């Protein structure tokens, strides 16, 4: 079948894509970082923009919240539009007191207690690695730019754990002591990228923490994550 959630001419989507969760963050990136950006998708208000960054064609698009939403857009981008690389740029909560509000986490792998992989491809895996080559490129680019990042595995959760207690999940995670941050989309992106034979990475800015009395406002989540955005753009064009 033809794609039904992202509908545009195939030439309107670049081979390299940034996926923030928030479509308004996609709009912000297009307006402030891309040249000649054009709006190429508005279905369900999940805005997609394509322009150039340092002369290279880049698409930036919202993915929505949660693995089902990420799964739809990642699949359509990889499968129907021949996208080769996607970097998720999102927000997260700190999983450990060693990670602080304002830190940028480079996810090397995502653990989830969810059965997304079973639902999607009849696999029992609950840990999915980011693409090694793309992750290495992001790491090296961060060093070149002097942007501090924290590297390690992250939790992809099905619930917004600011509202509910997830201690029962922590107690059953095989890599609980290694997890740095918690978010809701990376596992689905990594899994679909592997199944489609494509590359995927994730950069996540920490915006809240149970270990610190500080939080980034909803407005700042849209506009004050420029280090992460710049790092993603510089990495994906390489």
Q: List CB contacts of 19: < 8 A, sequence separation 6 or more.
A: 60, 61, 62, 63, 70, 73, 74, 86, 87, 88, 89, 189
- Which entry of 103, 161, 208, 213 is annotated as an active-site residue? 208
Any catalytic annotation for residue 208?
Answer: yes
Rounded to an integer, what distance in angstroms lies between the CA atom of residue 133 and that of residue 169? Answer: 30
Residues classed as catalytic: 208
């Amino acid at each position: 079948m033809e794609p039904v959630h992202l509908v545009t001419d195939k030439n309107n989507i670049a081979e390299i894509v940034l996926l923030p969760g928030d479509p308004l963050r996609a709009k912000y990136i297009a307006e402030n970082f891309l040249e000649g950006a054009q709006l190429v998708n508005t279905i369900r208000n999940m805005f997609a923009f394509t322009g150039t960054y340092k002369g290279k064609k880049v698409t930036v698009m919202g993915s929505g919240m949660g693995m089902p939403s990420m799964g739809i857009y990642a699949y359509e981008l990889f499968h129907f539009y021949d996208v080769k690389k996607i970097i998720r740029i999102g927000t997260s909560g700190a999983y450990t007191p060693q990670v602080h509000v304002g830190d940028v986490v480079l996810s090397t792998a995502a653990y989830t207690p969810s059965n997304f992989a079973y639902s999607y491809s009849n696999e029992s895996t609950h840990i999915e690695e980011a693409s090694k080559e793309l992750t290495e490129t992001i790491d090296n680019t961060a060093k070149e730019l002097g942007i501090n990042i924290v590297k390690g595995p992250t939790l992809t959760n099905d619930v917004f754990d600011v509202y509910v207690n997830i201690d029962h999940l922590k107690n059953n995670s095989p890599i609980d002591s290694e997890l740095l941050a918690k978010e809701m989309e990376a596992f689905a992106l990594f899994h679909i990228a592997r199944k489609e034979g494509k590359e995927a990475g994730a950069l996540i800015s920490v915006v809240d923490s149970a270990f610190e009395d500080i939080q980034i406002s909803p407005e700042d989540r849209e506009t004050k994550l420029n280090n992460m955005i710049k790092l993603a753009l510089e990495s994906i064009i390489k």
